[in-house]
Amino acid sequence: MDNNITIILELLSAGVIAALVAGIFSLAIAIKNNKRLVDLENIKQKFTINQERYKALKEAYDELLAKLPEKNLLNHIIINLPAQNEFQKKDFFEIYNAAEENMEIMYSHFQKYGYLFSDNEQQKINNLIEEIDAIAKNIIKISLDLQINDVEKKEDDFAKEIYIKNIERIEKVAELEKVYYELFKNSLSKLSK
């Protein structure tokens, strides 16, 4: 009888060991499958987020194009001027007014949709806006100096200085336009892949 009990105990021990080994393998497979499911869920969430971001970027870009078509960008206007190398007086005022309007449109648009860009992209746009604002403040300062102070500079010198600063501001607005449009195009291109 002892022999039968020993055989039964050995069989039970072997069964427990086999069950234990099978349980460990099952646990390892379950952990591996769980990791795959988590990865798949992350990929699905990332895809959904990118899909929503693409949709928002596309809508924002379409709105930008409706408000400020590429034919109204400063570089396009300047290229199509009769005298491309130098601004004539009437051309200068046309470009100056276009720069003012375009800056207002882009600033308003950026305030509404800037969150769609990465932090670095937002910072790039903010830096350009700050540079444009600094130039505008400088123009105001020069104008105030002309009006308030009894300075030795002639009005023509001030006018020339203001003209140069305005040209600098127009160039910065054109740079902002280019960067802003490229950010949209690049972001949409990356997300469409």
> Tokens representing 53?
């971001």
Burial class (CB in 10 A: 0-12, 13-18, 19+), 27: exposed
Cα distances from 155 to residues 25, 139, 160, in angstroms, run: 89, 14, 8
- Determine the Cα–Cα distance for residues 146 and 41; give it in Å rounded to an integer: 66
Model confidence over 88-114: pLDDT tens digits? Answer: 555 677 888 888 899 999 999 999 999
Instruction: Compute the residue count for the chain.
Output: 193
Tens digit of each residue's pLDDT (9 = 90 or more) over 74-92? 877 766 665 555 555 556 7
Reported as a pLDDT band with limits 50, 70 and 90, residue 12 is low
Position 136 confidence tier, pLDDT thresholds 50, 70, 90:
confident
Least confident range of 21-35, 56-70, 139-153, 174-188: 139-153
Please determine, for residue 126, whether its predicted confidence score (pLDDT) is greater than 70. Answer: yes
- What is the helix (H) or strand (E) element at residue 98, kind and residue range? helix 89-113
Q: How far, in Å, CA of 87 to CA of 68, rounded?
A: 22
Q: What is the mean pLDDT of the chain?
A: 82
Determine whether 96 is exposed, middle or buried from the number of CB atoms within 10 Å of its CB (0-12, 13-18, 19+). Answer: middle
Distance CA 18, CA 92 (A): 89
Tokens of 34: 């769980």
Has residue 167 got a pLDDT over 60? yes
Give Cβ neighbours of residue 72 (< 8 Å, ≥ 6 apart). Answer: 98, 102
Which candidate, 164, 85, 169, 175, places its Cα nearest to that of 125? Answer: 175
Rounded to an integer, what distance in angstroms lies between the CA atom of residue 41 and that of residue 35? Answer: 10
- pLDDT given for residue 16 in this prediction: 74
* pLDDT of res. 104: 92
**Statement: residue 59 has pLDDT above 90:** yes
pTM: 0.70
